Amino acid sequence: MGFYQLAGNALASVIQGKTSLVGATIGNIKVPQKVKKRMYAALCQTIQKAKMLLYIIDNSLIISGQHKIKDTDLLVILNDLFFARGGIAHDSEDPVLKKLVFYHKNKLFKLMKATKTDPALAPKAQIKFNTLKMSVKDVISLFETQGYKFIDTVKYSEFQSKLQHKSKKFGLDTDLTDLLVFPSGTDLILHELYLNGSIILQDKASCFPAFILNPEPGSTVIDACAAPGNKTSHLASIMNNKGKIFAYDLDNNRLDTLIKQTNLAGCNCIEARCSSFLDIDPNSAESAKIDYILLDPSCSGSGIVSRSNDLVDSLISTYIQDRKFDYQIEVQTQIKPNSATRIKNLSNFQTRMLLHAMKFPNVKKITYSTCSVYHQENENVVENVLSSQTDFKLANQKLVLQEWPKRGEQFKSSDNLTPTETSPSVAKSVLNNLNKDEQCSLVRSSTEEMYTNGFFVACFFNKNHFNKTEYIDNPRRKITKFVEEQVEDISDSTNIADKEISSIESIKAEHNTVKVESPKENNVNKGSKQKSKTQLQTKQHPKVESSTKDTKQKIKTLPPKTHAKKSTVNTVAHSGKKDATQNSSLKRKNDQSNAAKNKSKKRIRTPITLK
Give per-residue pLDDT as tens, 428-472. 444 568 999 999 999 999 877 888 888 999 999 999 999 999 999
315, 21 in Cβ contact below 8 A? no
Percent of the chain whose predicted confidence (pLDDT) is above 90: 37
Q: What is the pTM of this model?
A: 0.64
Is 345 annotated in some ligand binding site?
no
Read off the pLDDT band of 14 (50, 70, 90).
confident
Is 249 annotated in some ligand binding site?
yes
Is the pLDDT at 274 greater than 90? The verdict is yes
Read off the pLDDT band of 86 (50, 70, 90).
confident
105, 84 in Cβ contact below 8 A? no
Which three-class secondary structure state does DSSP give residue 122? coil
Is 225 annotated in some ligand binding site?
yes
**Set 267, 299, 371, 440: catalytic member:** 371
Read off the pLDDT band of 588 (50, 70, 90).
low
Is the pLDDT at 125 greater than 90? The verdict is no
Is 226 annotated in some ligand binding site?
yes
Query: Higher confidence at residue 160 or residue 10?
Result: 10
Of the candidates 336, 308, 233, the residue with the CA atom closest to the CA atom of residue 21: 308
Is the pLDDT at 482 greater than 50? The verdict is yes
In the chain, where the domains are located:
3-116, 121-201, 205-302+338-538, 573-611
* CA dist 284 → 68, 362, 374, 531, 567 (Å): 63, 12, 35, 18, 50
Q: Is residue 269 annotated as a catalytic residue, yes or no?
A: no
Burial, 42: exposed, middle or buried (Cβ in 10 Å; 0-12, 13-18, 19+)? buried
Q: How many Å apart are CA 47 and CA 63, to the nearest integer?
A: 20
Give the number of other CB atoms < 10 A from CB of residue 9. 18
Question: Tens digit of pLDDT for each residue in 97-124?
Answer: 999 999 999 999 888 877 654 544 444 5
Q: What is the mean pLDDT of residues 190-201?
A: 90
Q: What is the mean pLDDT of the chain?
A: 76
Is 322 annotated in some ligand binding site?
no
Task: Tell me how far the alpha carbon of residue 289 is from its chain's centroid.
Answer: 30
Question: Residue 285: what pLDDT?
Answer: 96
Q: Hey, which of 125-129, 196-200, 279-283, 344-348 has the most confident mean pLDDT?
A: 279-283
Q: How many Å apart are CA 133 and CA 141, to the nearest integer?
A: 14
Is the pLDDT at 425 greater than 70? The verdict is no
Task: Tell me how far apart the terminal alpha carbons of the chain are, to the nearest angstrom.
Answer: 57
Query: Higher confidence at residue 201 or residue 379?
Result: 379
The beta strands (E) that lie in 365-407 are given as: 365-370, 392-394
Query: Higher confidence at residue 270 or residue 34?
Result: 270
Is 296 annotated in some ligand binding site?
yes
Residue 357: partners with Cβ closer than 8 Å, 6 or more residues away: 222, 224, 277, 293, 295, 363, 366
Q: What is the dihedral of CA 29, 33, 37, 42, to 10 degrees?
A: -70
Q: How many Å apart are CA 396 and CA 458, to the nearest integer?
A: 11
Partners of 198 in beta bridges: none
Query: Higher confidence at residue 513 or residue 174?
Result: 174
Q: How many Å apart are CA 231 and CA 213, to the nearest integer?
A: 11
Q: How many Å apart are CA 89 and CA 61, to the nearest integer?
A: 23
Phi, psi of 195 (to 5 degrees): -70, -25
Q: In CATH, what is the architecture of 121-201?
A: 2-Layer Sandwich (3.30)
Q: Give the pairing of strands 455-462 and 443-445.
A: antiparallel
Partners of 293 in beta bridges: 222, 366
The beta strands (E) that lie in 233-350 are given as: 244-249, 270-274, 292-295
Q: In CATH, what is the architecture of 205-302+338-538?
A: 3-Layer(aba) Sandwich (3.40)
Identity of the residue numbered 450: M
Q: Give the pairing of strands 244-249 and 220-223.
A: parallel
Read off the pLDDT band of 42 (50, 70, 90).
confident
What residue spans of 61-173 are helical by DSSP H? Answer: 71-83, 95-103, 105-114, 136-145, 159-162
Is 596 annotated in some ligand binding site?
no
Identity of the residue numbered 155: K
Q: How many Å apart are CA 8 and CA 40, to the nearest integer?
A: 12
Question: Tens digit of pLDDT for each residue in 519-559?
Answer: 444 444 444 444 443 333 333 333 333 333 343 333 333 34
Question: Residue 82: what pLDDT?
Answer: 86
Is the pLDDT at 353 greater than 80? The verdict is yes
Read off the DSSP letter of residue 187: -
Q: DSSP string of 466-490?
A: S-GGGB---TTPPP-----------
Is 228 annotated in some ligand binding site?
yes
Q: Hey, which of 31-45, 150-164, 169-183, 353-367 has the most confident mean pLDDT?
A: 353-367
Is 230 annotated in some ligand binding site?
yes
What residue spans of 324-401 are helical by DSSP H? Answer: 340-357, 379-386
Of the candidates 113, 110, 49, the residue with the CA atom closest to the CA atom of residue 318: 49
Read off the DSSP letter of residue 288: G
Of 144-153, 277-286, 376-385, 520-529, give the lowest mean pLDDT range.
Answer: 520-529
